[in-house]
Amino acid sequence: MVPVIALVGRPNVGKSTLFNRLTKSRDALVAEIAGLTRDRKYGEGKVGDKPFIVIDTGGITGEEEGIDAAMAAQSYQAIKEADIVFFMVDVSAGLTNGDRMIAEHLRKSGKEAYLVANKIDGKNPDLVLGDFYELGMGEPLAIAAAHNRGVSSLIEYVLGELPESEDDYFRELEGEEAEVHEALDVKGIKIAVVGRPNVGKSTLVNRFLGEDRVVVYDEAGTTRDSIYIPYERHGQEYTLIDTAGVRRRKNISEAAEKFSIIKTLQAIQDCHVCILVLDARTGIVEQDLHMLSFVLNSGRALVLAINKWDGMDQEAKDRVKSEIDRRFEFLTFADMHFISALHGTGVGHLYDSVDQAYRSSMAKWQTNLLTRILEDAVASHQPAVVRNRRPKLRYAHQGGSNPPIIVIHGNLANELPDDYKRYLANTYRRVLDIKGTPIRMEFRQGDNPFAEKEKEIRHSSKKRADAVERTDNKRKIKLEKARKQLRKTYKKPT
């Protein structure tokens, strides 16, 4: 039960910079590029003992067309969801018609709004703030978000205006039917939707949620940030992560796109299950394999979604399936679904594979179970002889989850052939019914528990051998002396 604050304003007035200041993070992309933020982005902040949720939005100009219109729709939706609106203006640019349009919309919405004048650093407030009184939104609250000037005072002032009791606060907002805002929290199974640009990732996210939660437009690179969206389905909590499309390195020119790709790769490492979306119309390209390689190297559970399957003729479908069988021959553990994110065909079945992959990646197994499986596998097929010795595998235990790690101890374990390691991994996958996630096998060559005893025995044997050798040498010396004495005593006469 915390207030929700929406940051709205024209493009490039500093909304994302203020978002990062309020959440004490770097979650929102920041650059001197207008229109960098496109989707609603949520974060948590706290001042003293007062928490709040803040929403970063795209810029509004009032003249939006194409993708800008979809971005503006997201911003207007954030205003509807919010309890408090920070209307941000840029004092260095002065008052514009876009500012007047946004102010008019806020007055009609009836939301509690505060006029926040950003980029005040190095300027005389008395001179630059005068024009903004024309908006009729009270006294402008001056800040410099980039330098963290006035930000703490702003949020303390706004939250200080709220009633002491949250129950009183919500009654003042909505009467007896107050909407209770739960704290934003990333819960349940985290699902990252990844792939090349324009393969339908955002469309799939909206289909999962049943609403236009993220901007969808027929243009590559629509999504620029990683958007975390918690929700619940059939009593199970999920968090969807919509990510930016990753292109080949040589095609990346803008700095903002480079940071978007970093956010995508971080989201892959942060999630539990990756849904790799492929475009059935264009087939599998090298960049799809690069994305797949990163997901597998990260050890994340994987589900493949072949999108835009609807409307294709049978010959084209057969060609795509043949290509998938050829290029993904090694990917036997991951489920594959042929879907249409736009029309919803096959999307519901993705949940079954996601749940199964999550259970497999987070499963816990007892050491005695893993050891018994190892013993049975070795009994069925022993490892090959290495340096005139056959490796002896003693026991196995679990070393971690997401991905599951199985650690095997034994003599010469590090020198097992690769094909025998794959044999053991496939045995564990089959017996434990592991689906949707890679398995990592670690082999540790254990120390000989009798090494110290053997060392003592060798040392003792050496001492005894040295003693015997010294005794023999003394005996030889005595015998030689005796012989010399006898030769002198019984020397033949000349």
Cis-peptide, bond into residue 163, ω within 30° of zero: no
Contacts for 363 with CB less than 8 Å, ≥ 6 apart: 401, 404, 432, 434
Amino acid 165: pLDDT: 45
Lookup: tokens for 2? 């915390």
C-alpha 242/C-alpha 230 separation (Å) is 11
3-state secondary structure of 51: strand
Can you list the residues of the chain whose pLDDT is less than 50? 1, 29, 31-35, 38, 64, 66-67, 165-184, 214-225, 247-258
Q: Which of 149, 177, 50 is nearest to 91 (CA)?
A: 149
3-state secondary structure of 443: strand
Amino acid 261: pLDDT: 63
Could you tell me where the DSSP H helices lie in 228-344?
A: 255-270, 286-298, 314-327
pLDDT in tens, 219-269: 434 444 457 788 888 888 888 887 765 544 444 344 444 455 666 777 787
Q: Which CATH class for the 367-445 domain?
A: alpha beta
Lookup: tokens for 39? 């989707």
C-alpha 29/C-alpha 31 separation (Å) is 7
Helix, strand, coil share of the chain (percent; to 5): 45, 20, 35
C-alpha 330/C-alpha 337 separation (Å) is 17
With contact defined as beta carbons under 8 Å apart, do 265 and 226 qualify? no
How far is C-alpha 257 from the geometric centre of its chain's CA atoms? 18
C-alpha 100/C-alpha 10 separation (Å) is 10
Cis-peptide, bond into residue 403, ω within 30° of zero: yes
Enumerate the β-bridge partners of residue 233.
236
C-alpha 82/C-alpha 7 separation (Å) is 9
Side-chain half-sphere CA neighbours of 62 within 13 A: 12
Burial 378-392 (b: 16+ CB within 10 A, else e): beeeebeeeeeeebe
C-alpha 150/C-alpha 453 separation (Å) is 71
Amino acid 184: pLDDT: 45
Extract the runs of DSSP E, i.e. beta strands, from 385-493: 392-400, 405-411, 440-445
pLDDT in tens, 433-449: 999 999 999 998 865 55
Lookup: tokens for 334? 């991951």
3-state secondary structure of 479: helix
- Please state whether beta strands 41-47 and 50-56 pair in parallel, antiparallel, or not at all (unpaired): antiparallel
Amino acid 187: pLDDT: 66
Contacts for 271 with CB less than 8 Å, ≥ 6 apart: 190, 191, 192, 241, 300
C-alpha 458/C-alpha 54 separation (Å) is 72
Q: Which of 341, 344, 228 is nearest to 281 (CA)?
A: 341
Per-domain boundaries in the chain: 4-177, 189-361, 367-445
CATH of 4-177, one of 1.20.58.480, 3.40.50.2000, 3.20.20.140, 3.40.50.300: 3.40.50.300
3-state secondary structure of 487: helix
With contact defined as beta carbons under 8 Å apart, do 248 and 285 qualify? no
- Asked if domains 4-177 and 367-445 share a fold, the reply is no
CATH of domain 189-361: 3.40.50.300
Q: Supply the DSSP string of 278-291, one letter for each residue.
A: EETTT---HHHHHH
Q: Which of 197, 255, 190, 191 is nearest to 222 (CA)?
A: 197
C-alpha 361/C-alpha 433 separation (Å) is 11
Residues listed for the chain: 494
Enumerate the β-bridge partners of residue 52.
45
Separation of first and last alpha carbons in the chain: 128
With contact defined as beta carbons under 8 Å apart, do 275 and 207 qualify? no
Query: Around Cβ 59, how many Cβ atoms within 10 Å?
Result: 24
